[in-house]
Chains A and B, each alone.
Chain A
């Protein structure tokens, strides 16, 4: 009962609980929160306390003293640490509500990977309920991404969405408000970062952190061989000498480093196309594949997929927020028409 009363003071939220970033969308407000899914925990006398959440905690990644650990509670799109996820959600939900007097109790729609198991979905649901939500709905990420990208999901025409997230790449073929085919590859932005770290270690004998790897990916990373050549200067710890050294990297070698994860994404897209019903495949061949998610920001990833599949590939507007925005729109659609876009638990 108290949750319902508190609900009067709360907004409906659509949450993209991602491995790398958590985004919250509020109706008529747009994206109100976009923070890294990172929590810093201080251990004092065996007791754990939350030191920082989001951007503050991300700055601590790899720079923490012994008694503080900055962790990412989600792995491969699903919850790896239940309690920390709950605390993180609680923090984010209260952060997007103005009133500090009444604890918010919003209705929440959370996007889940389409290949997540019932246990993983339940963990996400429970986590949100414990974080104070009064009602939790789940939607499959590619469906939310398609709605957020502005595709006409209710039409009897096939649309293919490839959502390249931090931990997973979700691929789905959607028609008539439903997912016809879906697949989830456990490869995403994090794998790109790892590939860059290991490339730098192999090639330059130097160790760089995840944050540096991410910066390299954003600035010079690319997915297609014909791209413009770019360079970046980075510093890392030389493994042989043990002292920081500076060196420069170019986009060609980063492309080489990213070959393996990129090949996995391309392979998943191809197998989705192989398994799609012929009528829908024809629709996709005509209109093309839509890329969403933070990974779609990798330069010329669309050209790579287009080249490999021979189909038009477009990057959605503002791909990073597609899922959260789509979730919010889906919530409105469900309220208006009671359309069942919900994923079954």
Chain B
């Protein structure tokens, strides 16, 4: 018990929690945008891979880090555009299209990586984002370490929470986006384009997802590995339900998840001799399922989620 208390009191634990949460914040926000507009995006897992690969590759080819981030977001937007064309104007199965995008995006990214680097035994490294050293603030006790020694990408994730919240809750665009996921016919009656709103949300959401992937290769690590996304995208699909499709709760959900994952890693070193380490590796996935089951009954899904909309048809 004392050990666990010590973990919770340590600065490095909270810093790690926020670091682990960062890609999930991007991913949950992206999922939130898509689903609020009425489109399930199971392409997320593949879009994470594409974002991770593209961002890393751009920097490896000599681009500055921010350009790498933009490249990742652009690649994510392209796959989002693909998914949105299939599911919005064509109204095809969102499940199947999303899984298709995941398979296509991850195999394309892996193929591109292998084709560009046919014979490397160890993955080449880039110089990743460094932690921001803000004068004075970084030297604060506790908060200095937890908040002000994170990388720019973690800060971007936190800022995006505010941006998405502001758009959803404070702008006419947000009102339209939420309406298009609940009652597209009403939006159409207002003279707004259901198709454009939904496609825009999926494209924007997918580029956020790709940033989640880019965080992995450009901030958390400094290289691209096959299988490095390892289900993080799927976890975001669970987290957004847990977060009731609200940006603030999405942040809380991602942070809670980051805490459990950071705790799991620390317990592994503490209790590694008693319990196989795989038990700890399973924990994040098991917790995601438990969280999903707890909230499932009262989950307030966007009412038109999964329902395609065609002009002149009710």
A binds B: no
B residues in contact (CB < 8 Å) with A: none
